[in-house]
Amino acid sequence: MYSSASLSELIYSKIASISTEDIFSFALKCGWVYVNNDQPYLTLRGVDILRSNKHDLLMDAKRQMLEDYILKIAPIWTSRIPYGRQEAAIFMTKDEKACFAEANLFSEYLDASIVNWWDRMADHARARSQQIRNNVGRMGERNTLKYERIRTSYEPKWMSIESNLLGYDITSRKGKDHPDTLLIEVKASSAALNEAVFYVTAYEWQVAQNSSAYVFHLWCLSGRKKLLAVITPSDIVHYIPTNNLEGTWEKAKIPYSCFEKKFVEVVL
């Protein structure tokens, strides 16, 4: 039976400067061990890695460990992987680069196993980045729902939950004494105000132009404060590209900083 006594076999013997506590903490985060009744044991993943070590599959074991490091620890350079392994390596520490080199993942000879490993990690990085964007976007939509309840004393409708193809996210009303429908497209960013950007699709812009009441809510959620700018289509018309000849635009990228003076702190 595999137990914590086998854990040392997961670690390169030449690493002598790392404490047992740090090694165990790292293995726990990577999902190689677990604790039951105050006793540590190897997980099935840890057992698989150990078996790879014992069956002359050390290179596979190293790559499995690096995969778990990326999936569970998510080092800061994870988001760079889809741009290429050299782009990720720029932000790696010396020790991280050494581990990748030992796993032959920086080899100039690109066999199928190396390419497949990097492609798999790139897919994970893209999915993780998209999930983060989705979470921030939903946070912005929830903030808009709260903001509109306070502003109008009316219950807004969260339309993007039903369909993400409408060209807006929430329906509210113009004001407490103005029951006319207001369409709201919500943009949210966790970046600082001077770094944040938002995107307007051609379809969103078409809906905005054809609506009698349409606004963009720009949420800056980089710190503890919630900053909001309410932007009308007329505010951004100069930042929208135009179609020329047979070319058409699909998405416009606009910096938050273009509307810096419109941002106000909101307490919800």
Span 76-104, average pLDDT: 95
Set out the domains of the chain in order of their start, with CATH numbers. 4-129 (no CATH), 135-266 (3.40.1350.10)
Print the SS3 string covering the chain.
Answer: CCCHHHHHHHCCCCCCCCCHHHHHHHHHHHCCEEEECCEEEECHHHHHHHHHHHCCCHHHHHHHHHHHHHHHHCCHHHHHHHHCHHHHHCCCCHHHHHHHHHCCCCCCCCCHHHHHHHHHHHHHHHHHHHHHHHHHHHHHHHHHHHHHHHHHCCCCEEHHHCCCCCCCCEEEEEECCEEEEEEEEEEEECCCCCCCEEEEEHHHHHHHHHCCCEEEEEEECCCCCEEEEEECHHHHHHHCCCCECCECCCEEEEEHHHHHHHCEEECC
pLDDT of res. 17:
56
- Write down the pLDDT at residue 55: 60
| pLDDT of 56 | 62
Tell me if 40 sits within 8 A of 31, measured CB to CB.
no
Show Cβ contacts of residue 190 under 8 Å, excluding neighbours closer than 6 positions. 132, 136, 221, 222
For the stretch 97-149, pLDDT in tens is: 999 999 999 999 999 999 999 999 999 999 999 999 999 999 999 999 999 99
pLDDT of residue 14 exceeding 50:
no
What confidence tens digit (pLDDT) does each residue in 186-196 have? 999 999 999 99
Residue 247 confidence (pLDDT):
83
pLDDT tens digits, residue range 28-41? 999 999 999 888 88
Residues 223 and 234: their CA atoms lie apart, in Å, by 29
pTM assigned to the model: 0.78
